[in-house]
Structure formats: C-alpha cells, structure tokens
Copies of this chain bind each other. A is one copy, B any other.
C-alpha cells in the first residue's frame, strides 16, 4: 500500500502516519518526493485495508498496490490448472463445449437434447435442477428429480453433467449426482456456499457475479481453493451495464486478464450474456477467438416450449452450425 500525503502535510503528520502503520505490525517507508511525501507500507498480507489511513491528518490518499489473492494467482502457480472430468480435460489446449437446456424439464426432454448436442460435438451436458428465479411465481426446477434425470443422461450418452447448487443445503445432493457443480452468478459471493464448495472433491464451475470485478471473482475462487478444492473453472457470463440491447454485456477482455493473473481455466457463457438467440452464435465465435477454454451454451429442441430462457436457447441445427464454426477457429489459434 502507498499512503500519499497532502502537499502541506507537516513532518509531525508524516510521523503520526508512520506510527499508525507500525502499530498494525507493518513496516513504513517514507519516500520524500518533489511536491509531497508518500509512505510505502510493507509486509502487508492484505489484512490491512487502504481505508484505515484515509482520514488520518495530512493523508490525501491511500492506494492498494498488491493483489489480495494468493492461491489462484499465477505468481503462486505459474502453470495452467487442468480439470479432468470423465474423458474430458478442461484447460489449456482443449476446447470444451458444454451444452443443454436451461432447465431439466423431463427425462424425455433432457435425453432428446443430450443426444442432439452430443452428436453435434458437445463435451458435457448442462441442465438446471434447482433454478434461481427472479420471481417466486416462475418455474423453480424439478429438484432432486431433475438430478436423477441428469444421472440418466450421463448413463445413456456418456456425457458428464454440469448443474447448479443454489445453496449449501442442496450441495450434498447436487454433488452426489453432478460431475461439475456450478455456482451461479447471484451466488458468486455466497460465502457459505463457496466454503462448502471448498470441501468438495468435485470440480466447481464458478460464474462471475453480474457486477463483480475480476479481483472479486478471483477472491471468490480463492475461498474454494483455500478450502482445499483446487478444481475451479471460471465462467464469464456478462456484466450489468447501461446497455440494454443484450441482457448483459459480455466482457471478453476478462479472458486475457484472467489468463495473466491466474492459472485457472476460463469458459464463456454467451447465452446468459445475450439473452437473445441471435447473438449467441457470433459471441461464441468471439469467445473462442479471444482465447477462452470453451463455451457453455443453452440448447433446446423446442425453445418456444422451454419452461425458462427459451428466447436465448439455440435450436439444435443452430448449435450444430455453431460447433462447425468454432472448431476451426480454435484450430487456427493452436498452430
């Protein structure tokens, strides 16, 4: 951290700030400058925040300098994390495609869609059994019944399955059935849930909160790693902005930034970012081109009868066309 003093700060004020820093067990290093003094704060492990110093007399600003995350950082682990699921590997050098309906509606629906997406080239199947819904009056998912359908899908098709655990009560249940447990955007800072995920042996797909900075997102992942589970897959799904032509604004610059800061794999969910089917194809191509490790898209065999998110679900032939488009882009980048 760096404490910047006012131009007219007195030597006594500087000394008082130094004392305050040292009272926290840290080391203060004043830097006399051209116009003003700054004071470097050393040996801070992140527990002392900039705000502590803002209102001391003579202080103009206090600026955090180092990142607060540790285990998720590339400084801690330079090589990429690879996550193995069934016969699939998520991470550097593979393009992972996760596809399926927003919600599991019935065994027939799930199996129909799973067979279609498998044939088109999907590596994993997604489908919600417990659905977080803005309205209490909307369809909330089939619950454990939906998990059983997912297990049946895996059995039939061989595709590993990804599904969401909405709270840590149902985490046990979801963990028992799923190959990858998803933590959704609204739960990115549900710290109880993150701690539970840290005790799991299943890989966790952690969606970015819809107004989360990358730092906060990596700190959420840090909770899981710190809890003992290193298998975290990040998933960007759009952030909330003033723009309303898409449901959220897909932030593809997150990919090169996460790559640089962290060793964790990162996927893109264009379906929830767009909220409209027409944008999903173009954004999927862009996701692959920007260097993501894969995509997660919603597909439904009859979107206009889907019980949720029909408007953003691809038709099977659109999904097939999408897979044909993105594979060669990925191949180009690997050369």
Contact = CB atoms under 8 A, between A and B. Distances in A.
Interface of A: 2, 4, 6-8, 20, 27, 29, 31, 33-36, 38, 40, 42-47, 49-56, 61, 63, 65-66, 68-69, 75, 132-139, 166-170, 186-187, 189-193, 210-211, 213-214, 216, 219, 222-223, 226-227, 239-246, 249-257, 260, 273-279, 282-283, 285-291, 303-304, 309-312, 325, 328-329, 332-333
Q: How many copies does the complex hold?
A: 4
* A36, A52, A137, A275: most-surrounded residue (chain B CB, <10 A): A137
Contacts of A136: 191, 219, 222-223, 226-227
B65 A38 contact: yes
Nearest to A306: B52
A51 B253 contact: no
A276 B2 contact: no
B189 A286 contact: no
Contacts of A283: 252-253, 256, 290
A210 B213 contact: no
A192 B34 CA distance: 33
Contact of A277 (B55, B169, B255): B55
21 contacts: A29-B31, A31-B31, A31-B40, A36-B66, A45-B137, A50-B311, A69-B135, A136-B223, A136-B226, A211-B211, A213-B244, A244-B244, A246-B253, A253-B273, A253-B279, A256-B282, A285-B289, A286-B286, A286-B290, A325-B332, A332-B332
